[in-house]
């Protein structure tokens, strides 16, 4: 079994098809999307692993196949509507249905309104928010035809709290993901479709070494500072996010929709 996570157990997604955007990892180790894809497969889902980089998607799919799970890999620019539409059509042709849509594409660019370029503002909104919109735009018609589906959008504690980092566009984008998810949930509640967001707090994933570490003297200082900032005294892992996604994707969450679930070790419960 690959590192981390849990054994298949009850196989809570048996027979379901999960389409996961952002299934690769930003670097060596386990990112949120990679861990979610493997977790879904361990619980019986057929997983379509999608990433901008084909090699990253294939790495995740190969881990699943080595565990005798069912996975395919695809490359797609999730900010391109035509590319997303074509991918969804391919998945429907091959799988016949999409039961779980998991939107994990994310990006944080440091800078407040003064420092941030307009291009970086739009890029941050596109990667965090437009990707959710486009995936839903092209998957929802199929879920409506099925009268069933679970949509999971990965947001952030930054959607509702200042996390100490100067990334204005990221705060705005993740707050929008939360409200976009709520709107989806209520619009489609009577159609058998659920939509929920997950708000990871301070997590120890490869992404922080690419996008956050520049705010510290060195990576070790970053880890120490982020661990200390968490009420539990440690950052969370990608598996914490994956396990929350598994629950929201499963029928055990059949009466849960419109939720923005913190997975943060208590971080957003603090005043300071």
Catalytic residues: 170
Q: Is 199 left (phi over 0), alpha (psi -120 to 50) or beta?
A: beta
Count the alpha carbons within 13 Å of 212 in the hemisphere toward its beta carbon: 20
CB distance 19 to 51 below 8 Å: no
One digit per residue, the tens of pLDDT, for the chain of length 272 reads: 566 665 555 789 999 999 999 999 877 889 999 999 999 999 999 999 999 999 999 999 999 999 999 999 999 999 999 999 999 999 999 999 999 999 999 999 999 999 999 999 999 999 999 999 999 999 999 999 999 999 999 999 999 999 988 999 999 999 999 999 999 999 999 999 999 999 999 989 887 777 777 888 788 888 898 899 899 999 999 999 999 999 999 999 999 999 999 999 999 998 65
Task: Tell which residue, 262, 24, 246, 34, has the closest CA to residue 163.
Answer: 262
Taking the C-alpha atoms of residue 165 and residue 31, their distance in angstroms, rounded to an integer, is 20
- The continuous run of DSSP H or E covering 137 comes out as helix 131-146
Task: Tell which residue, 207, 214, 197, has the closest CA to residue 26.
Answer: 207
Q: Where are the beta strands (DSSP E) in the chain?
A: 17-21, 46-51, 70-75, 100-103, 149-154, 193-200, 260-263
**Domains of the chain, each with CATH number or no CATH:** 17-264 (3.40.50.720)
Three-class DSSP category at 184: helix
Taking the C-alpha atoms of residue 270 and residue 13, their distance in angstroms, rounded to an integer, is 34
Question: How far is the CA of 114 from the CAs of 33, 82, 167, 177, in angstroms?
Answer: 32, 33, 11, 23
> What's phi and psi for 9, nearest 5 deg?
60, -120
pTM over 0.85: yes
């Amino acid at each position: 079994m690959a590192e981390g996570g849990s054994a298949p157990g009850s196989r809570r997604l048996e027979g379901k098809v999960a389409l996961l955007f952002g299934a690769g990892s930003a670097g060596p180790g386990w990112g949120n999307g990679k861990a979610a894809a493997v977790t879904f497969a361990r619980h019986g889902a057929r997983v379509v692993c999608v990433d901008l980089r084909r090699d990253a998607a294939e790495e995740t799919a190969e881990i699943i196949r080595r565990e005798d799970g069912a996975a395919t890999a695809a490359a797609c620019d999730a900010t391109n509507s035509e590319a997303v539409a074509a991918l969804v059509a391919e998945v429907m042709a091959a799988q016949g249905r999409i039961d779980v849509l998991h939107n994990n594409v994310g990006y944080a660019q440091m800078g407040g309104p003064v420092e941030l370029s307009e291009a970086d503002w739009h890029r941050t909104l596109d990667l965090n928010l437009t990707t959710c919109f486009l995936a839903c735009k092209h998957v929802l018609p199929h879920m409506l035809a099925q009268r069933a589906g679970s949509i999971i959008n990965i947001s952030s504690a930054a959607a509702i709290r200042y996390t100490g980092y100067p990334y204005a566009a990221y705060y705005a984008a993740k707050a929008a993901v939360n409200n976009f998810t709520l709107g989806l949930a209520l619009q489609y509640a009577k159609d058998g479709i659920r939509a929920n967001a997950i708000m990871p707090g301070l997590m120890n994933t490869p992404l922080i070494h690419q996008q956050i570490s520049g705010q510290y003297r060195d990576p070790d200082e970053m880890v120490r500072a982020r661990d200390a900032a968490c009420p539990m005294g440690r950052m969370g892992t990608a598996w914490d996010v994956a396990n929350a996604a598994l629950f929201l994707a499963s029928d055990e969450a059949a009466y849960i929709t419109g939720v923005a679930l913190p997975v943060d070790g208590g971080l957003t419960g603090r005043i300071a």
